């Protein structure tokens, strides 16, 4: 991944999709109707080096701790943000 930007981008895409899938699943378990296109958003910084300047590409990703419920409608109604409980450690 360190030398192949397409591979790094693909790994990041799969990671973020997995997080969003996890969030949608938790929301559905609570009985919330979650639209796929407006589940959430994220911001990622790709760091390529560790503290000793060794080559260790990894991601720092910020993801809201919730999902958007509902859909935008012509009457002006907009999705609302619904916070989710943090994941439990196992």
What is the residue extent of each domain of the chain?
5-83
Long-range contacts from 28-32, C-beta under 8 angstroms, 24+ separation: 30/84, 32/67, 32/69, 32/82
Residue 73's pLDDT is 75
Please compute the mean of the pLDDT values over residues 49-60 and round it to a whole number: 86
Residue 68's pLDDT is 85
Calculate ∠ Cα 35-38-42, nearest 5°.
140
pLDDT band at 36 (very low <50, low <70, confident <90, very high): low
pTM of the predicted structure, to 2 decimals: 0.78
């Amino acid at each position: 991944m360190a030398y192949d930007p397409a591979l790094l981008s693909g790994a990041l895409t799969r990671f973020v999709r997995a997080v969003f899938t996890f969030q949608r699943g938790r929301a559905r378990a609570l009985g919330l109707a979650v639209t796929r296109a407006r589940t959430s958003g994220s911001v990622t910084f790709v760091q390529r080096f560790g503290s000793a300047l060794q080559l260790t590409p990894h991601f720092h990703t910020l993801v809201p701790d919730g999902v958007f419920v509902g859909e935008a409608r012509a009457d002006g109604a907009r999705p609302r943000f619904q916070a989710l409980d943090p994941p439990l450690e196992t």
